Amino acid sequence: MRPRPASTRLRAGLLATCTALTVMGTVGPAAADSAPATRLGGQWAPFTRCPVDDPAMLAADGRAEIAQCIASHAASGSIKLGSTEVATGASDLQIGVVQHTGGAPTLIAPAGGALIADSADIPGGLLGLMCPSDIPVIGDICRQITNSTLNRVTATVESAGAPTDFNLTAGATSGRPIIALPVRVHLQNPFLGGSCYIGSAAHPIVLRPQNITAPALGIKRFDGDGTPNTAGVMNRLALTGASQTDTTFAVPGASGCGLAGLLDWAVNLKTGLPSAAGRNSVVLDSASTHLAGLNAPGTVVPNDGKLLSQYWHSAAR
């Protein structure tokens, strides 16, 4: 049997990869140390944080390794941790993917983490989390919460490690995990201090989203600088309108809340944490996912990754 041409293999890889990665939206603003987004023109516009200059991406030769950019965006959704459910705002997941001939892909997160998203308020704020209480230290805090600033608690979902376990074929079906996405939730309030988290790098919340509905597929060609061109050197696939969920993840207890973690137990008590798998959920509504890569990487060996980076930078505005 004759092997398929490199361009045919890439188109199949692009389709499978893009279908597989309409990943979960979450709560919280971008982490403070996340890399700044780069404004890009034309068909490059969704890929503002693609790690095109990562050494593994640059080393992709177009034959044994193929470099691609993936961006997934959702405007809304919800997440339930223990007994607390929060409506989510806009979220953005971006990663670089290096496809290996005959092996699992390498996933590369941008500086600052793969996931950033808008902030979300915890319902009831600190009053809802800890008050009323007859415990002296908690009761004192409850009496001091006299305005919305002191009461407000925001939840920030942050990346807690690089994504893993990427399954190309799962994105084309439903009911199968697509990717493992480790995250932690930063709870922010003056009384909680700056280090109050649910989950950690050592013990993250691991989301494994799966498709509920099939997305609509679109394919476009474009020039290296992002200009649409039916004969362009680049491919962009779009998957829109997909919904996803995960109910399989466990959630650890809070840590670092208040001075020396003295408020950990109070947060855990009211939010029902730690919470075993099956008691938590995340839902993403109407996500849009885009994937970009060279249309025929086999024709540019050994420069696939270098050209991807060059073209990405040429689209900067």
CB of 28 closer than 8 Å to CB of 154: yes
Q: Is the pLDDT of residue 185 over 50?
A: yes
Select the more confidently predicted residue: 269 or 206. Answer: 206
Residue 21 has pLDDT above 80, yes or no: no
Confidence of residue 278 (pLDDT cuts 50, 70, 90): very high
Cα–Cα distance measured from residue 104 to residue 82, given in angstroms and rounded to the nearest whole number: 34
Torsion of Cα atoms, 138 then 79 then 106 then 173, to 10°: 160
Residue 236 neighbours by CB under 8 Å, 6+ apart: 43, 219, 220, 221, 222, 290, 291, 292
pLDDT tens figures, 136-171: 888 888 888 878 889 999 998 889 998 988 776 776
pLDDT value for 10: 39
Write down the pLDDT at residue 89: 83
Q: Are 236 and 219 in contact (CB under 8 A)?
A: yes
* Mean pLDDT confidence for 28-39: 57
What average pLDDT does this structure show over 110-136?
A: 86
> Cα–Cα–Cα angle for 83, 84, 85, nearest 5°?
125
pLDDT score for 30: 40
Q: What is the pLDDT of residue 128?
A: 85
Share of the chain above pLDDT 90, in %: 49
pLDDT over 90 at 248, yes or no? yes
Record the pTM. 0.84
Segment 212-227, tens digit of pLDDT = 887 888 899 999 999 9
Mean pLDDT in residue range 3-20 = 42
If we measure between CA atoms, which residue out of 271, 316, 280, 312 comes closest to residue 293?
Answer: 312
Question: How many other C-beta atoms can be found within 10 angstroms of the C-beta atom of residue 230?
Answer: 7
**Residue 50 pLDDT > 80:** yes
Instruction: Identify the bridge partners of residue 70 per DSSP, sorted by sequence position.
Output: 95, 291
Q: What's the confidence (pLDDT) of residue 209?
A: 87
